[in-house]
Amino acid sequence: MEAAKVRVVMGGTVGTRTCRQPEQGAAQAAARRRRPCGPGWSTAVMRLRRPARVRVVVAGAAPLLAAGVLAGCSLGGPDPDDAARTLAAGLSKGDVTSVPTTGDGTRNQADLERVVGDVGGTQRVRVTSVEEDDGVTTAELRHRWTIGGASWTYDTAATLVEQDGAWRVRWESSVVAPVEEGETLGVRTTPAERGDVLGADDAVLVTARPVVRVGIDKTDVDPDAAGTSAERLARLLGIDPGAYRRRVEAAGDQAFVEGLVLRADGDVPTRQELAAIPGSLAVEGTLPLAPTRAFGQPLLGTVGEATAEVVEASDGAVRPGDPVGLSGLQARYDEQLRGTPGVEVLAVDDDPDTESRRLFSSDPKAGKPLRTTLDPDLQGAADRILTDVGPASAIVAIRPSTGALLAVSSGPGGDGADTALTGRYAPGSTFKVATALALLRSGLTPDSQVPCTPTLTVDGRRFTNYSDYPASAVGDVPLRTAFAQSCNTAMIAERDRASQEELAAAAAGLGLGRDVDLGMPAFLGQVPTQADGTERAASVIGQGRVEASPLAMAVVAASVAHGGTVTPVLLPDRRAKEAPEPEEPVTRAQATSLSGLMRAVVTDGSGAFLRDLPGGPVGAKTGTAEYGDDQPPRTHAWMIATQGDLAVAVLVVDGDSGSGTAGPLLERFLRR
């Protein structure tokens, strides 16, 4: 066997190593002498001219060459960097069972979980260096731990040992965090002050208000009696006794199981009522609330304890039990509103008499307020009006001059659905505003004569007017009269004057069907551009595949009042993407004609009950939209109106008629 010496240069330190190879021919031996140890060579000796400390930063090719020298001077041999990186990846994932260590991976995992405890959050670990000093190889790690939105950064070190031809980590608890023997990590959080939700002129809509949390304190009741107490308290609170009992019995012995959170100024159980139920407890606190329970719901949304799904999706910013937005604007803008809680990380000793060490702390940072355009008085009025409406219902009010949404109210009959913004319903005769615009663009005027017949048959389907249609308005009548009295047959008879595509374009010119980014889910309607036969006939009276939300129909009314296409605005500070302008926006002259038609509905038509309203002139349009296969068909009741710089849409799902069901609600709102 022949030996060759190889000159090695590391960080300015020169040394030699002796490499040996198997017996071979002279030519091969000569070639081998001209290059460092390669395949088939083994390292025998490495001598440095002076003691050296070799630092290897894990980045780039040169450090990897040096790391290869550390690995026994065999290029392609085991590399300590690999073990260090595997450790960092395992710590980041919270799973070190596959990390090569000198001990048992299962025990190491148990130790990791013991140290971390219930800190939660997310951890990112990276290797900053691998260095050898006096024969000891150390990997330095940088930890970045996000807990409750705060960022805790610290360094740890791990000793690497070459064992059985591989590099392994010498496992110690201090690899995980700067803890000592017998210590674990603990966390205390201080909630940040949540940002308020503001309305027009920065009026406070949602802010921290006093509440009382009523529930069962299981530390204050015999375990065998807790279920009975839960049922009694549930009946007092008006919640499901069986479901609450199951929650109480499933909770731990030290738990306080909340039954209901009540406004402090509302109907709260008396001390005597609670004292009669063993284990019942009322805890005072605060919660972000609107002025009343119904105010602005479901748009504004609610705040409560974070669910498991919210915690998981937060990437460490939210911990179990943290107050977060659970629905509506509170959920969509939770990150802005909740701010950043204060975090304190402690090294907690197993001995309860030993004081904990503080490893990290951060102060809470208050959330930022969220501004909306909602008018507190109009929103409150709309909510009160819909309180006793049984079916799903909605009132939407817009300021035409700015597009600001002043009231967005969804009635309790919708079971929490945002009927006002996302409802999808046939708009019925309120859509005749768009049909009238298409007819005006075709050359008709409000005085043009149109045929209003009692019935009209299209491809075998018989269309009629509503049951109370006045006989005096039958026959050839001005378009103004047909619109004011809501003659279906006249609109259908004139359908060929404007194509389906032109009908859709007229609707778009009034803002219906546009793609507007409101900052919340919203549906602004749809009108098919292709329709034939009975579907085409149904389209001109707002049925068939024509759909709209109360928001969409309020925008239609607002565009008429404004004299141009209105884009609704809910969050004035939010930079929403610009909605594409319609190809043919309604013009001021066209809007003036439409305003005259809507005024005729009040002076001479189906909206006559609005004639005596105080204030400026009112324009309106009623609508009763048939749907489904029932006989007689079920109907939705609509009404839209304008008065000064205000446009309103009202919907009652499964209502009898526009004037009879939606009309009185609209009148109450305008008389507010």
Q: What is the pLDDT of residue 579?
A: 76
- Residue 285 has a pLDDT of 92
* Average pLDDT value for residue range 327-348: 95
Question: What does the pLDDT average to over 441-464?
Answer: 97
* CA distances to 290, 475, 485, 626, 662 from 470, in Å: 46, 11, 8, 20, 20
| 616-620 mean pLDDT | 97
User: How many Å apart are CA 231 and CA 248, to the nearest integer?
Assistant: 10
Q: Which helix (H) or strand (E) holds 382?
A: helix 376-386
Mean pLDDT of 363-375: 97
pLDDT at 55: 41
Q: What is the pLDDT of residue 627?
A: 87
- Say if residue 62's pLDDT is above 50: no
- pLDDT in the model for residue 600: 98
Length of the chain: 672
Mean pLDDT of 633-637: 92
For residue 305, what pLDDT band results from cuts at 50, 70 and 90? Answer: confident
Residue 254 zone, left/alpha/beta (φ > 0; ψ -120 to 50; rest): alpha
- Mean pLDDT calculated for residue range 4-15: 34
More confident residue, 438 or 631: 438
**What residues does 343 pair with on adjacent strands?**
189, 362
Within 10 angstroms of residue 77's Cβ, the number of other Cβ atoms is 18
Query: Residue 654 above 60 pLDDT?
Result: yes
- Please state, in angstroms and rounded to a whole number, the distance separating the CA atoms of residues 666 and 640: 8
Provide mean pLDDT across the span 365-388. 97
Instruction: Over range 237-244, report the average pLDDT.
Output: 97
Residue 9 is predicted with a pLDDT of 32
- CA-closest candidate to residue 227, choices 240, 239, 244, 215: 244
Q: In what order do the strands lie in the sheet with 404-410?
A: 404-410, 393-399, 647-652, 634-643, 618-627
Task: Specify the pairing of strand 404-410 against strand 393-399.
Answer: antiparallel
The pLDDT value given to residue 576: 65
Q: Are strands 197-198 and 370-371 parallel, antiparallel or unpaired?
A: parallel
Across all residues in the chain, what is the average pLDDT?
88
Confidence label for 631 from pLDDT (cuts 50, 70 and 90):
confident
Q: So what's the pLDDT on residue 36?
A: 35
The 3-class secondary structure across 184-247, one letter per residue, is EEEEEEECCCCCCEECHHHCEEEEEEEEEEEEEEHHHCCHHHHHHHHHHHHHHHCCCHHHHHHH
What are the structure tokens assigned to 194, written together?
């949540």
The average pLDDT across 614-626 equals 95
Q: What is the distance in angstroms between the CA of the first residue and the CA of the last residue of the chain?
A: 106
Minimal CA–CA distance to 641: which of 420, 428, 407, 396? 396
More confidently predicted of 66 and 80: 80
- The fraction of the chain above a pLDDT of 70, given in percent, is 88
Cβ(636)–Cβ(426) below 8 Å: yes
Question: Does 31 score more than 80 pLDDT?
Answer: no
Position 623 confidence tier, pLDDT thresholds 50, 70, 90: very high
pLDDT higher than 50, residue 155: yes
Tell me the pLDDT band of 315, cut-offs 50, 70 and 90: confident
pLDDT mean over 388-409: 98
Q: The tokens of 660 are what?
A: 């009879």
pLDDT value at position 260?
Answer: 94
pLDDT-derived band at 241 (thresholds 50, 70, 90) equals very high
pLDDT of residue 77: 64
CB atoms within 10 A of CB 283: 13
Q: Tally DSSP H helices, then E strands, for the chain.
A: 20, 27
- Is the model's pLDDT at 72 over the cut of 80? no
CA–CA distance, 229 with 217 (Å, rounded to integer): 10
512: tokens are 């219906």
Pairwise pLDDT comparison (149 vs 506), residue with the higher score = 506
List 285's β-bridge partners, or say none: 211
pLDDT (0 to 100) of residue 30: 38
pLDDT tens-place string over residues 470-502: 999 999 999 999 999 999 999 999 999 999 999
| Residue 672, pLDDT score | 83
Task: Give yes or no for residue 426 having a pLDDT over 50.
Answer: yes
